[in-house]
């Protein structure tokens, strides 16, 4: 291989490395944005629990519709339908009862810690929201008289 060929191979290798680094960086930024926006959704649900309930009610309706179609086609018997529908209702009730602030905090934490570095707009915003949301979550736990230690909220 002559010098020109080695130089060209080196440039191609450098370009490939730069492209891979760039793609990884973009992927992490997009994941951080997605996690941040998910945290925003849960934080909004803590302020407006009726939105959270409507979301999970819609999921339940979809699941019950699927089960009804399976029952009508004979893929499920009545007992299995009742069991699966009851489980779906239980899962909806559990999701609605869960702390929205806890989930908001975890999504912000994911954006800030899992998808950083590289530091990006979304991880910086998420880090700031983590502090705010953690304080709100502590107030919620105190109001419900649920004992906790700070390490348990990590």
pLDDT tens column, 69-119: 999 999 999 999 999 999 999 999 999 999 999 999 999 999 999 887 888
Q: How buried is residue 110: exposed, middle or buried, by Cβ count under 10 Å (0-12/13-18/19+)?
A: buried
- pTM exceeding the 0.75 threshold for the entire prediction: yes
Tell me if 99 sits within 8 A of 143, measured CB to CB: no
Is the per-residue pLDDT at 1 higher than 60? no
pLDDT band at 3 (very low <50, low <70, confident <90, very high): low
Mean pLDDT of the chain: 92
Is the per-residue pLDDT at 130 higher than 80? yes
Please tell me the predicted confidence (pLDDT) of residue 115: 81
Mean pLDDT of 54-78: 95
Q: What 3-state class would DSSP assign to 32?
A: helix
Mean pLDDT of 54-68: 97
Tally the residues of the chain.
Answer: 154
Q: What 3-state class would DSSP assign to 50?
A: helix
**Domain boundaries, given as residue ranges, for the chain:** 3-153
pLDDT band at 53 (very low <50, low <70, confident <90, very high): very high
Instruction: Report the distance separating Cα 74 and Cα 138, nearest Å.
Output: 49
């Amino acid at each position: 291989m002559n010098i020109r060929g080695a130089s060209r191979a080196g440039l191609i290798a450098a370009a490939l490395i730069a492209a891979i680094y760039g793609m990884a960086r973009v992927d992490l930024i997009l994941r951080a944005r997605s996690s941040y926006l998910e945290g925003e959704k849960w934080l909004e649900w803590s302020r407006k629990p009726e939105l959270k309930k409507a979301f999970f009610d819609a999921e339940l309706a979809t699941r019950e519709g699927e089960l009804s179609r399976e029952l009508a086609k004979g893929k499920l018997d009545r007992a299995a339908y009742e069991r699966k529908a009851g489980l779906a209702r239980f899962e909806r009730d559990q999701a609605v009862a869960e702390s929205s602030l806890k989930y908001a905090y975890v999504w912000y934490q994911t954006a800030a810690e899992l998808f950083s570095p590289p530091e990006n707009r979304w991880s910086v915003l998420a880090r700031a929201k983590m502090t705010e949301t953690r304080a709100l979550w502590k107030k919620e736990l105190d109001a419900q008289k649920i004992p906790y230690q700070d390490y348990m909220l990590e």
